[in-house]
Each structure stands twice: as C-alpha cells, then as structure tokens.
Amino acid sequence: MKRNLFVLLSLLVIASVLTACGGAPATATEAPPVVTEPPTEEPATEEPTEAATEAPATEAPSTYEGLLVEAPDCEYGGEIRSIEAVDEFTVKFNLCVPDPAFPSKIAFSSFAIQPQEHLEATEGRPLENPIGTGPYMVESWERGNQLVFTRFDDYWGEPALNQTLVFRWSTESAQRLLELQSGTVDAIDNPGPDDFETIEADENLQLIPREALSIFYIGFNNNPTAEGFDNSTNPLANEQVRQAIAMGIDRSRIVDNFYPPGSAVASHFTPCSIPNGCVGEEWYEFDVEAAQALLAEAGYPDGFETVINYRDVVRGYLPDPNVVAQDIQAQLQENLNITANIEVMESGAFLDAADSGQLTGIHLLGWGADYPDQTNFLGYHFGAGSSDQFGDKFDDIVEAIEAGAQLASDDERAPHYEAANNAIKQHVPMIPVAWGGSGVAYKAAVEGAHASPLGNESFAVTGIPGQDTFVWMQNAEPISLYCADETDGESLRACEQVTQSLLGYEIGGTAVEPALAESYEPNEDLTEWTFHLRQGVLFHDGSTLDANDVVTSLSVQWDAAHPLHTGNTGGFTYWSGLFGPFLNAPPQ
C-alpha cells in the first residue's frame, strides 16, 4: 500500500516537473508576436489618429457614404496622403510625392481587395478564408497536405478552365519531378537544375523557362538588432571587410556550376531587363590577392569566424541552397581564411529574423520581381522604408533611390539609380551573386502553359482538355492566404488565384493591365491617381465590389492604428516596403 502510494507520488512529482518544463515555452509563445499592435487606450501619436478619421465624404452626390482615410500631413514619412471613395465606383489616391510606378505597385497581389464586411468579420485576419473576386475560390485547406480551389462561376472575366484547382507542395525537387513523371500532378515549379535536361528529353513533358527576373545575394547586416550582440567587435560592420568579401568570392564559379541555363552572374543588384536595372559601375572583379590585402588592412589578416544563415528552400534565384551555401563557405575559408559556420533556419523564422535585422553573420537570400520597377528592387531593399535586414541605412544610397523613385521617365531616373548602384558597390550591404533563371515544367498535354517572370502563374488559363482538375505542385506550402501580410512567393501565388487588386499583370508577362479597375488616370504631377472600378463585380460571398471595399482593404494595411491592422504577424512588409512608413506607426 505504502509502496503504491509512493509510486503515485513520484509519478505526480515527475509529471509536474515535466509540465513545468514544457509549460515555459508554451507561455512564451502565447505572448503576441505582433509588434505593430496599435495602442488601444492611448494613441502613441495623438494628432494623426484624430485626423485620420473615417468620415463620410461630403462631396458624394448620391446617398453613397464613401470612406475617406487621410493623413493630417506628410510628416509621418509615408507616400500616401489619402485614400478616398469618391463615389461607389471611384477611388482616389492622393500622394505626398509623385510616383510614376504607382500603377505597377498597386497592381501587386498584396494590395488585393476583399469585402469590408469580411475583413471586419475575421478581425483583419482572413488567413485561411480570403474572399476575393478571382476566377477561383478557396474550397478547403488541409494544412500540410493540399489546398483546394473551385471555379467561381460568377467571375467577371473569362471563367477558369478547370472546375477544381489543387495546390500541393514538396521541398524536394526530385519528388516534384517524380510526381510529374508519374502523372499525379500536372505541373511543377522549379525543377532541379540537374533535371532540366531530363525534362527536355521527355516527350510527355514540356519545360517553360522563366525569365531571370530575380537576384540571389549574400547579405550583411552592419548593425544587427539581436539582443546582447556587441557590434563593436563585428567584423561585418567594417566596410572594408565587406568589400574584401565582395572581391574574394568567385561568383562565376557559383553560377557556372550550380545554376540552370538562363542564369547569369549579377553585375548589379537589379536584373538588366528592369528599366535602369544595371546602370552604374559593374560589381568588383574576383581578385583574391586584393581581397586578402584589404582584409588585412581592415585588421583581420588571419580572417575571423562568422555564420552563414539561410533557409533550405528552393527558389528561382537559389536552385540548390545547401550546395551553394557550402561553396560560399568553402570559398570564404579558402580565399580569405574566414571560418563560416552554416546555420540552416526554418523559412518563416529566417525571413522574420532577416527583416527584423537579427541575423548577425552572413545571410543568403534572394528576391524575385513582384513588378518590373527599380522601386521593387533597390527601393524595397535599400530605400527609406526598407527593413532592418542590412542594418543601418546608408544616406547616399537612400537619397539616390528616393530621388529616382519620384521621377516619371526612365531617362530622368537613370542618373539617380546609377548613383545608387555605385553607392551600393562602395558600401556593400550585400553581394549580388546571380540572376537566377528557373523554369516551370508541365505535362505536354497542358494548354496555356506559361511561366511568369513575376512567379505568379495563373491556373485559370492552364488546363488539360477533358480533365476537370488541375494539380499544381510548388516548393512549399503557403504560409497564409491573407497576402497583405505575406511576402513569400509560395503564398502570393496561391492568393493570386483567389483575390485581385485594382490592376493586375498580364499573364506570363510584366505589363500592367486593368483588373478590378477598368481605367485610371493620374493628375499632371503624378500625385493624384483616380481609379474607376469595374461595375457588377461580385465577390465569392455574393456581395458586390464597391469603392469602400477598396478603401478598407488598403487602409487596414496603411493605418497602424486601424483596429483591423492585425494580419498574420502584423508586419505588412510589402506596404511599408512599397509605400514607406505606416500611418500612426507606434514610436520605435
């Protein structure tokens, strides 16, 4: 009896110890990760909150109560001055600065329109059940398995070819190819570089190369925000060290050996097919001796120890992450005696850490074009609104980029982007390595097969005659389907089947074309843009698109104090990347 009691007691003790150990991290994760949560009681900056009221526009002629969200002035630093529903089918944007790229930006899928009521009902987090106007609507999402869409029969445009669209994913390129060969999927993204020949030789398959509108780079953070990190001993904070690494890495060795056909060594950050992409001086030549001399001059003749962070995720810009990372590791060791320990991170955690500036060593990341403009490349990464990924910003880079972004013609913008590229070459916030070509492989029977340089293939136009279901296999599962607050291409592609923005991009291309807005016109100095909505567009829930849906969908992203400014993590990175700081942003 006593013995049993004792056993029971000891089990209880162990159980409580285990719960105590297990409980600690659980409570830690309960803390909201949202950093930009609006202050509920006391607005951080009182003035803008008061001014940014949602008042019915007075000039609306009919009974329609159009929303108006506006900043009191342009002091807050962002690009947008106001968003206004002029009438039921007209939306007007007032900008603080001229922005010739505005149509390209507003067409991006992060700025898709959802019904105002739906955003309210989901408290700003329609993470798994977005309601859009696109050719497909979400039917079910079995996390970890597949995402199923069905055709939206009341779609305003050409109806989708397939009754059902299925998204599946596998991080393994061999498995993707195997599934395609065995016929369980109809198309796969990013075949492995070694598999290009196999696919081309297979008469049951077709390979569509994707234009290299992407950049793979080796990033440095000159002042990481990681807790307890002492930046005074950080060799990467030293510009000479970064320049030495830039010279000491043989980039053509990486591209020649590890990239598929269609890729090129990057002479600049932005690919040349983007207007003003590769203006200015070309990147450093590979020169080991000069690099070693520079490293010695910087005070590290014997090298140093650092880490290489990356995510083991295949993207068009990085077809074989582990191998490329190990080659860079080997080159750093061999050429510069820099010992770099590889630390692979989980994709989401890696992106979060990169964006918040917490990566202390070298990180490997890339970028695929969202829209073909320098603001999406230089502006997003190094402009005024860019994240802390590369640490402290360089004034000369920021100024050149912001000056270029406000001019309308490519010729006028050229000198500014040239200056920006030259300044980037001098400061080396990152080393541009490759403009990575990639591809999409389809079954030969698929009609409408295409590869989008922006990575947003539309499966409303692809299909196999006589087949109801189209199965697409990509690299990874979408993170969420509320793409206002996602940056991952795998999520964006899924969103793009469901939701639409005011404008869109042509299928398989980069030209901007009308979507939910039939037409738009700017004023003369490009600070006021008026969009005329398509009439009679239905959402998947049966409601009709009107101007207030547009104002709400966009202002919840813009206004950090908006009650619906919640999202998945609350980062809304694309908004701040493209349009600068948030309205009512909490003080840093």
Partner 1 sequence: MSQEVQVIQSLDAEGLSVQSVSLWNITWHRLLRRKSAIVGMIILGIMVFIALTAQWLAPYSPTRSMLDVDGYPVRPEKRKSPCIHAFGCPQDQPQHIMGLDGNARDEFSRILYGARLSLMVGLLTVSFAIVIGTVLGALGGYFGGWIDNTIMRVMDVLLAFPSLLLAIAIVTVLGPGLQNALLAIGIVSIPAYARVVRASVLSVREMEYVSATRALGGDALQILFRRILPNALTPLIVQGTLGIATAILDAAALSFLGLGAQPPTPEWGAMLGAERNQVFTAPHLVFLPGIAIALTVLSFNLLGDGLRDALDPRLAHVS
Closest distance of CB 25 from partner 1, Å: 9
Q: What is the contact surface with partner 1 in residues (CB under 8 A)?
A: 6-7, 10-11, 14, 18, 172-175, 177-178, 192, 194-195, 198, 250, 253, 257-258, 312, 320, 322-323, 325-327, 329-331, 334, 341-344
Cβ atoms 500, 134 nearer than 8 A: yes
* Length of the chain measured in residues: 588
Q: Which is nearer to partner 1, 51 or 226 (CB)?
A: 226
Q: Which is nearer to partner 1, 120 or 253 (CB)?
A: 253
Closest distance of CB 323 from partner 1, Å: 4
Q: Which is nearer to partner 1, 190 or 462 (CB)?
A: 190
Task: Say how far apart CA 561 and CA 43 lie, in whole Å.
Answer: 8
Q: Which is nearer to partner 1, 174 or 226 (CB)?
A: 174
Q: Which is nearer to partner 1, 56 or 253 (CB)?
A: 253
List, in sequence order, every residue forming a beta bridge with 439; answer none if it has no partner: 209
Closest distance of CB 378 from partner 1, Å: 31
Cβ atoms 441, 110 nearer than 8 A: no
Task: Say how far apart CA 214 and CA 204 lie, in whole Å.
Answer: 29
Q: Which is nearer to partner 1, 10 or 544 (CB)?
A: 10
Query: What Rg do the C-alpha atoms of the chain give, in angstroms?
Result: 25
Closest distance of CB 436 from partner 1, Å: 17
Residue whose C-alpha is closest to residue 302's, from 224, 220, 229, 235: 235
Q: Which is nearer to partner 1, 286 or 574 (CB)?
A: 286
Task: Say how far apart CA 379 and CA 385 lie, in whole Å.
Answer: 8
Q: What is the DSSP string of 319-387?
A: S-HHHHHHHHHHHHHHHH--EEEEEEE-HHHHHHHHHTT---SEEEEEEE-SSSSHIIIIIHHHSTT--
Closest distance of CB 493 from partner 1, Å: 22
Closest distance of CB 292 from partner 1, Å: 15
Task: Say how far apart CA 249 and CA 402 lie, in whole Å.
Answer: 30
Q: Which is nearer to partner 1, 320 or 477 (CB)?
A: 320
Closest distance of CB 183 from partner 1, Å: 17
Handedness of CA 526, 529, 534, 537 (dihedral sign): positive
Residue whose C-alpha is closest to residue 147's, from 128, 127, 133, 134: 128
Q: Which is nearer to partner 1, 21 or 42 (CB)?
A: 21
Residue 426, classified by CB atoms within 10 Å of its CB into exposed (0-12), middle (13-18) or buried (19+), is middle
Write down the H helix ranges in 139-250. 173-182, 196-201, 239-248
Closest distance of CB 296 from partner 1, Å: 21
Closest distance of CB 346 from partner 1, Å: 11
Task: Say how far apart CA 320 and CA 307 lie, in whole Å.
Answer: 19
Closest distance of CB 201 from partner 1, Å: 12
Closest distance of CB 218 from partner 1, Å: 16
Helix (H, G, I), strand (E, B) or coil at 165: strand
Q: Which is nearer to partner 1, 287 or 312 (CB)?
A: 312
Check residue 195 and give left, alpha or beta (phi > 0: left; psi -120 to 50: alpha): alpha
Closest distance of CB 200 from partner 1, Å: 14
Residue whose C-alpha is closest to residue 113's, from 583, 577, 537: 537
| Residues 6 or more apart whose Cβ sits within 8 Å of residue 244 | 291, 292, 294, 295, 298, 336
Closest distance of CB 268 from partner 1, Å: 25
For the chain, helix, strand, coil in percent to 5 are 35, 20, 45
Q: Which is nearer to partner 1, 139 or 334 (CB)?
A: 334
Q: Which is nearer to partner 1, 97 or 290 (CB)?
A: 290
Q: Which is nearer to partner 1, 177 or 215 (CB)?
A: 177
If one counts every other C-beta atom within 10 angstroms of the C-beta of residue 77, the result is 14
Q: What are phi and psi of 509, to 5 degrees?
A: -140, -165
Task: Say how far apart CA 112 and CA 115 lie, in whole Å.
Answer: 10
Helix (H, G, I), strand (E, B) or coil at 189: strand
Give CA 276 to chain center in angstroms: 21
Residue 23, classified by CB atoms within 10 Å of its CB into exposed (0-12), middle (13-18) or buried (19+), is exposed
Q: Are strands 503-505 and 512-514 parallel, antiparallel or unpaired?
A: antiparallel
Q: Which is nearer to partner 1, 23 or 563 (CB)?
A: 23
